[in-house]
Structure 1
Amino acid sequence: QRQLFITLATSTIISKMIEILDDLYLTQSHLKDQGLEIAINKFIAVLKAEGLEEIPADSQEFDPNLMECLEVQKGNQNQVLEVKKKGYKLNGQVIRPAQVVVGKQSN
């Protein structure tokens, strides 16, 4: 029971940290600051050490177990065309699916 509580608390904290990471990525996309990039990489290293892993999505085949389709556009059938928000697993469990744009061939 104690371990379950610790796991739940860790998941909650990591989920909140992912939101901060999203903000850092957004800031970096506008500033292109080397110091900020170093800080982001250190932050990611800490999260990885706690069991966080990014879900690979860009140009991958859409997987509804790991991804959430936000939009469908003309493109290769079921291929992820764009990642709107990165997805993550914590110790092998999806805590946030990747939010993606998926391709569909036009007929």
Structure 2
Amino acid sequence: MDKYKKKGKTPKINANIEELEKKIEDLENQLKRAVADYLNLEKRNILEKKEFVKYANKELLERLIPAFDTLFLAGKYTTDESVKLTIKTIIETLKDVGVEMVDTNGEFDPNLMEAVAVEEGEDGKVLEELRSGFTLYEKLIRPAQVKVGTSIK
């Protein structure tokens, strides 16, 4: 060490060491940020894949809903137990894959229902469901069409 002090190199070496230590610290921080960014990207990709799989059946469901409407309508006007059993089975199967029918009992909910008719009755209450509505994992696929009561004559 003494030979460096005599030639005046110690301050320069110390400055170089400090500079290199600073570069190492900067690179370590960059690496930590890059790893964190990568892990966040991986998590985001996993969530996106789960969402894609979750809603992959949406288009199929939208195409099948008119057929369900026809079957549900037939179920209202038939005494044939096989039709009623088929409807029940379809509803249970839909529930198994995250599809729920919109509950139209009680108060009118504009987030889930579409009022297509108004009739004298209890104000704001759904009087009749005219067309079923559906949600897929609580996301509205099609609003229920309903007749709503009003106290205004």
Greater helix share, structure number:
2
Among 57, 81, 85, the alignment partner of 1:34 is: 81
Q: Write the letter of the residue equivalent to 2:133.
A: G
How much has 1:57 moved relative to structure 2?
Answer: 0.7
For the 8 Å contact 2:129–2:145, the answer to whether it is kept is: yes
1:53 matched to 2:67? The reply is no
How much has 1:4 moved relative to structure 2?
Answer: 5.2
Structure 2 residue runs without a partner (length 5+): 1-47
Structure 1 residue runs without a partner (length 5+): none
What percent of counterpart residues are identical?
Answer: 34
> Please, which moves more after superposition, 92-101 or 41-50?
41-50
Q: Distance in 2 between matches of 1:29 and 1:61?
A: 23
2:130 corresponding residue in structure 1: 84
- List per-residue Cα deviations over 1:7-56 (Å, max 9, x = no partner): 45411111222221111111222322111212222122211111011111
Q: Which has the larger radius of gyration?
A: 2
**Secondary structure of residue in 2 paired with 1:18:** helix
Q: Distance in 2 between matches of 1:101 and 1:35?
A: 29
The TM-score, its normalising length taken from structure 1, stands at: 0.85
1:21 corresponding residue in structure 2: 68
Q: Write the letter of the residue equivalent to 1:16.
A: R
> What's the C-alpha RMSD, in Å, of the aligned pairs?
1.8
Among 90, 100, 105, the alignment partner of 2:146 is: 100
For the 8 Å contact 2:55–2:136, the answer to whether it is kept is: no
> Please, which moves more after superposition, 34-43 or 69-78?
34-43
**Secondary structure of residue in 1 paired with 2:57:** helix
> Please, which moves more after superposition, 71-80 or 28-37?
28-37
> Please, which moves more after superposition, 35-44 or 3-12?
3-12
Greater strand share, structure number:
1
Structure ranking higher on relative contact order (CA contacts 8 Å, 6+ apart): 1
The TM-score, its normalising length taken from structure 2, stands at: 0.62
Q: Distance in 1 between matches of 2:108 and 2:135?
A: 16
1:72 matched to 2:118? The reply is yes
